[in-house]
A and B are shown apart, each in its own frame.
Chain A
Amino acid sequence: MIRLEKRAQPSQFWTFATPFLAVIMTMIVGGIMFAALGSDPFEAIRTIFWDPLFSEQFAAYSRPQLLVKAGPLILIAIGLSLGFKAGIWNIGAEGQYIMGAICGAGMGLAFYPSESFIIFPLMILAGALGGWAWAMIPAILKTRFGTNEILVSLMLVYVAEAWLASVSSGLLKNPEGMGFPGSRNLQQYPASANLEIIQGTGMHYGVLTAFIAVIFAYVLLSRHILGFQIRLTGEAPRAARFAGVNPTRIVFLCLGLAGALAGMAGMFEVSGPAGQITIDFNSGYGFTAIIVAFLGRLHPIGILFAGLLMALTYIGGELASLMLGIPSAAIQLFQGMLLFFLLATDVFINFRIRLDSGEAA
């Protein structure tokens, strides 16, 4: 009979191996699903994982798009990972992302049509502050009244969505928009546009910020006392308290950083690829980033690669849907499998499989 036996130490090998195993299992089961839908599974898998990077027809366009799509995911996931390491479950990054976008865009539009160079930096600041402030609500409620930050932060996503709908058909509505909801297009307003730093590479300021955040988080976690305190709080809260770590401070720090980074991601998105505040501007980056954070093992470098992989499945998934006519629901299922198999195989990190003879039971 097969049973699971707890390991004395989490397995180093499986910590690294399970993401790869999850990808391979997703390919196999996903391939079977595509075959059942009547598509050639090998062609489908190739279209998803290979074509965006190397196809002659699409790669020149989709390679830069990979960065555009991965940028916000990485930026948000880095912030979330700090909290997750400390056992602080911020599920509301989507809301912080929306509030950052609203504040950032609002700051830029307040200056319209001025052409000062100071506008864009001010917008970044406003975006970060917007996201930070939105994350402070669950932080204060948690530390003062002991509320559950999972519920509060998640519920605040829906409040943020209501704000988004309100400002795009009211406060920030484009006065030249013929009565349609949606703000002015920030791409067409040079002082506020988040442009590519090098033309044609997809490398806009948000992607650059995401890379800086990866380095920052790496240094923080591996070289700084604060990083040690964050890890300690997550792994052994009582020990952390005895070591003089102030848990309130950690809650504010982790939620605040995550909020600020998510807010910045929203701001870079609205002033760059999206261009305008609209009623359904948000497209789930805040939630997908949770998957990215775990897929990347809450490690900054891991998150970098997980973000790129996630972006690849999105862009490749779109291509598969376009070229092979695979329904979009099947693509979503394929992406969902990735997380499912990761969580399923994660059991091997802490457990090993034992084959016993029957009488033991």
Chain B
Amino acid sequence: MKRRTLLASAAVALALTGTAFADGHGKTKVGFVFVGPVGDGGWTYEHNKGRLAVEEAFGDKVETVFQESVPEGADSERVMTQMALSGADLIFTTSFGYMDPTINVAKKFPDVKFEHATGYKQADNVSVYSARFYEGRAVQGHIAGKMTKTNKVGYIASFPIPEVIRGINSAFIHAKKVNPDVEFSIVWAYTWFDPAKEADAAQALIEQGADVILQHTDSTAPQAAAEAAGGVITFGQASDMAEFGPMPRVSSIIDDWAPYYIDRVQAVMDGTWTSTSTWDGIGPGMVKIGEISDAVPADVKEEALAMVAALGDGSYHAFTGPINKQDGSAWLAEGETADDGTLAGMSFYVEGITGEIPN
């Protein structure tokens, strides 16, 4: 009996502090949970740029807090809870592994809005958002296919999840289209951010003869490895990584979260926030192609830019048939484009890629 009243009063106290904040601070408090350090130069760096853009856009009306290098799993659940307790009105959780923790915490704080990046579980107060990075990969694949002299493209993959597999497929399809002899060597690093591991992977691929290194990991270590090797080209991942241009970095896929973040914060301020599922690409500007450097021949650059434009206005889809699966079975017929459901859960390679998806 006593224990129950104790708990009940604790709950009341909790509720009280909650409302006190909602009335008291006036500012909208926005929290960000990051999987890497804000200085990773890639994925987290861009999310943090989005956070800074929110601060700039709203000035005094907004307060942002963030926590970096938060491990996925039980620790992230605690970080989110503490953020909610500290009075956050809106929390962005920016890695796939935060999915179940986000849903759990959202249940406990029905008045706090949550936004989870790259997942698929929604709730009344949980939105999901991601970018169609595979559109950028198509452009990358095109340039890679044209530029490689050894016909060997190295690919540093992180985890075998649909997003990564989609990127590999998209890059391969477009490389193959312009260079039928091209081969992809894929290394699974099992990390999003580990400069030492990424450098090792890049080094191994270069030694195997790859003269293009594509990466789906967040650090600039592969860029540095390519620079040291010489004659190898790379692309900035998640962030522009322009400091490695014009060689080895010839272009980049940039995630631009700022417009989306500003939009969502505005919606919370206006009280118009609802749970949504957003998957935007080059068209709405969530994915950008970083400047194509002079190391790329003018005609290739022109073709690449034409592809960016076509992907942007929707006249071209990165997955347009005919495309077969790796085992040779038909996937997309001539002219058919992939539906979002299949793309979202993609767990197979397309025809021509050697090796298996690890499991």
Contact = CB atoms under 8 A, between A and B. Distances in A.
Q: Do A and B come from one complex?
A: yes
A185 B7 contact: no
A282 to B, nearest CB: 9
B196 interface: no
Contacts of A325: 65-66
A276 interface: yes
Nearest to A185: B100
Contacts, number: 108
A280 B359 contact: no
Interface string A157-184: 0000100011001100100001111100
Interface residues of B, number: 41
A179 B162 contact: yes
A276 B76 CA distance: 13
A325 B67 CA distance: 8
Given A68-B74, A318-B67, A327-B68, A179 B346 contact: yes
A60 B81 CA distance: 12
Interface in A101-145: none
B162 A178 contact: yes
25 contacts: A58-B85, A60-B10, A61-B81, A68-B74, A69-B78, A161-B190, A165-B358, A169-B160, A169-B358, A170-B359, A178-B120, A179-B346, A180-B96, A198-B3, A278-B72, A278-B73, A279-B159, A280-B190, A283-B73, A318-B82, A319-B82, A323-B65, A323-B86, A325-B65, A329-B69
B267 interface: no
A200 interface: yes
Contacts of B78: 62, 65, 69, 315, 318
A269 B74 contact: yes
Contacts of B160: 169, 181
Nearest to B346: A179
Contacts of B120: 178, 180
A276 B100 contact: yes
Contacts of A281: 73
A321 interface: yes
A279 B190 contact: yes
Interface string A313-326: 00100110111010
A247 to B, nearest CB: 38
Contacts of A68: 74
A322 B100 contact: no
A199 interface: yes
B7 A199 contact: yes
A269 B71 CA distance: 14
B14 interface: yes
At the interface, is chain A mostly helix, strand, loop or mixed?
loop
Interface of A: 56-58, 60-62, 65, 68-69, 161, 165-166, 169-170, 173, 178-182, 185, 187, 198-200, 269, 273-276, 278-281, 283, 315, 318-319, 321-323, 325, 327-329
A185 B3 CA distance: 30
Contacts of B69: 328-329
Contacts of A276: 100
Contact of A318 (B79, B97, B100, B358): B79
B86 A166 contact: no
Interface of B: 3, 7, 10, 13-14, 17, 37, 65-69, 71-75, 77-79, 81-83, 85-86, 96-97, 100, 104, 120, 159-162, 190, 344-347, 358-359
A321 B67 contact: yes
A68 B85 CA distance: 18
Contacts of A182: 97
B82 A58 contact: yes
B25 to A, nearest CB: 13
Contacts of B346: 179
Nearest to A164: B190
B125 to A, nearest CB: 19
Contacts of A181: 159-161
Contacts of B97: 182, 278, 280
B345 A179 contact: yes
Q: Which of B10, B17, B82, B160 has the most CB of A within 10 A?
A: B82
Nearest to B97: A278
A278 B73 CA distance: 8
B344 A273 contact: no
A328 B68 contact: yes
Contacts of B100: 185, 275-276
Given A180-B162, A325-B65, A62 B71 contact: no
A38 to B, nearest CB: 16
Nearest to A276: B100
A58 B87 CA distance: 11
A166 B82 contact: no
A58 B85 CA distance: 7
A170 B73 CA distance: 19
A166 B359 contact: yes
A240 to B, nearest CB: 41
B13 A328 contact: no
Given A278-B72, A322-B65, A165 B86 contact: no
Nearest to A165: B190
Contacts of A273: 73-74, 77
Contacts of A280: 71-73, 97, 190
Contacts of B37: 327-329
Given A166-B359, A185-B100, 10 more contacts: A60-B13, A61-B81, A62-B78, A179-B346, A200-B10, A275-B74, A275-B100, A283-B71, A323-B86, A325-B65
Contacts of B81: 61
